[in-house]
Amino acid sequence: MHRKIRVAIAGAGNCASALIQGTSYYAKNKESVGLTSYNLAGLEPGDIEYVAAFDVADSKVGLDLSEAIFAEPNNTVKICDVDKMGVNVQKGEVLDGIGKHLSEKVKVSDKPAVNVKEVLRDAKAEILVNYLPVGSRQATQYYAERCLDAGVCFINAIPVFVASELKWQQAFKDKGLACAGDDVMSQLGATVLHKTIVKLFVDRGVKIDETYQLNVGGDMDFYNMLDDERLEDKRVSKTSAVSAMAPYQIPMRIGPSDFIGFLQNDKVCYVFIKGKYFGNIPVEVDLKLRVVDAYNSAGVIIDALRGTKIAIERGISGPLESISAYCFKHPPLQKSYSQAKVHFLEFIEGKRPR
């Protein structure tokens, strides 16, 4: 009999939809495509059990989670049917979760907000995954605090800095709870591709003169980021991941660029790198990547959830450095992708303490 991972979700958007669909898909189709491994220390995707969910959208609050993930404005592709889960989406506090642009598309439920701490405790949740909209600083901190109150570990999938900040690291450690984050790294997304190419240039002795990364998409995440003030942490997160791959400062511009509605949940990324190799001969890389955005994070979060469950079983608290470096853009300690994967697997095998 497999151990269960009892998971709560804050934000039932496209990424939550991909995660929940993916969990169901891999429980029925025992394959490892998109996962580090189908089985990690005895834990499989089907061992993830969703026990609570929070949102503020009128279109989702009150619905079973299996239905809410397909409710508008969600627009990612459907890969499988999801059985009724018996978990109703409950209304959380709005705080700064709905920005100026997003408020044009999302009607906030008029139902009263629930006591998140009590819901988490009653559901016996072990881990909460934060999938709130980008820029939700107050709301993210609110859920982190409720996790501390309720004795629940925290995985932060968005670019608000919790697991990478000393204050929060110490708070979770003091409570004997683990945290991982920040800002989920796609399986094959713009940032992991960009940082890997930059590392390749550096390792091969090519001097990088300048680089940029532009991203466009058509989901509510990109619409929300039309609010310039909600972009700052996202730019910092993506830029720090790439700049950490070089031992010198590189002029660069990285971040979300625009909303294009007809792209739906597709994200299109453009990466440009210009440099010099032997004899100061110029070299340029100019590439385009197109992905279905939500599914790019789902397998990574399934790995992060299983890794965090292992940390819980081992009594590890505070920031999970190996999981965070492997699964997130802005971890407590930046590593190259190849090094991060090795350290993640060593942690799973018990060869690395955190």
Same domain for 285 and 335, yes or no, is no
Q: What is the number of residues in the chain?
A: 354
Same domain for 212 and 301, yes or no, is no
The confidence score (pLDDT) of residue 257 equals 86
Alpha helix locations (H) across 58-156? 65-68, 116-123, 137-150
Same domain for 125 and 206, yes or no, is no
Query: Taking the alpha carbons of 124, 127, 129, 130 in that order, is the dihedral positive or negative?
Result: positive
Please give the angle made by the CA atoms of 242, 244 and 249, to the nearest 5 degrees. Answer: 90
The confidence score (pLDDT) of residue 30 equals 87
Instruction: Specify the CATH number for the domain of residue 176.
Output: 3.40.50.720
Q: Phi/psi of residue 115, each to 5°?
A: -85, 100
Cis peptide before 182 (omega within 30 of 0): yes
Same domain for 338 and 198, yes or no, is no
Q: Tell me: the pLDDT tens digits for 60-111?
A: 999 999 999 999 999 999 999 999 999 999 999 999 999 999 999 999 999 9
Structural domain harbouring 342? 5-185+295-348
Q: How far apart are CA 353 and CA 316, in angstroms?
A: 8
Question: Does the pLDDT at position 1 exceed 60?
Answer: no
Same domain for 213 and 313, yes or no, is no
Last-in-domain residue among 249, 266, 293: 293
Check residue 273 and report its DSSP letter.
E
Phi/psi region, residue 195 (left: phi>0; alpha: psi -120 to 50; beta: rest), is alpha
The answer to whether residue 335 is domain-embedded is yes
Other C-beta atoms lying within 10 Å of the C-beta of residue 240: 18
The confidence score (pLDDT) of residue 128 equals 98
Same domain for 322 and 239, yes or no, is no
Q: How far apart are CA 313 and CA 347, in angstroms?
A: 13
Last-in-domain residue among 254, 270, 293: 293
Tokens encoding 133: 């909209």
Same domain for 331 and 196, yes or no, is no
List % helix, strand, coil for the chain (3-state, nearest 5).
40, 25, 40
* Mean pLDDT over each residue of the chain, to the nearest integer: 96
The answer to whether residue 353 is domain-embedded is no
Same domain for 275 and 288, yes or no, is yes
Sorted by sequence, the CB contacts under 8 Å of residue 200 that are 6+ apart come out as none
**C-beta of residue 123 within 8 angstroms of C-beta of residue 147:** no
Tokens encoding 311: 């940390």
Number of domains into which the chain is organized: 2
Q: How far apart are CA 170 and CA 332, in angstroms?
A: 12
Same domain for 234 and 253, yes or no, is yes
pTM: 0.94
Q: How far apart are CA 322 and CA 19, in angstroms?
A: 21
Q: Tell me: the pLDDT tens digits for 118-173?
A: 999 999 999 999 999 999 999 999 999 999 999 999 999 999 999 999 999 999 99
| Average pLDDT estimate for 303-332 | 97
Q: Tell me: the pLDDT tens digits for 12-31?
A: 999 999 999 999 999 999 88
Q: Tell me: the pLDDT tens digits for 164-218?
A: 999 999 999 999 999 999 999 999 999 999 999 999 999 999 999 999 999 999 9
Same domain for 166 and 277, yes or no, is no
Instruction: Specify the CATH number for the domain of residue 289.
Output: 3.30.360.10
Sorted by sequence, the CB contacts under 8 Å of residue 107 that are 6+ apart come out as 57, 58, 59
With bands split at pLDDT 50, 70 and 90, how would you rate the model's confidence at 290? very high
3-state secondary structure of 324: helix
Tokens encoding 257: 């660029």
Same domain for 171 and 238, yes or no, is no
The answer to whether residue 354 is domain-embedded is no
Amino acid at 270: Y
Same domain for 220 and 86, yes or no, is no
DSSP string across 136-186: -HHHHHHHHHHHHHHT-EEEE-SSS-STTSHHHHHHHHHTT-EEE-SSBPP
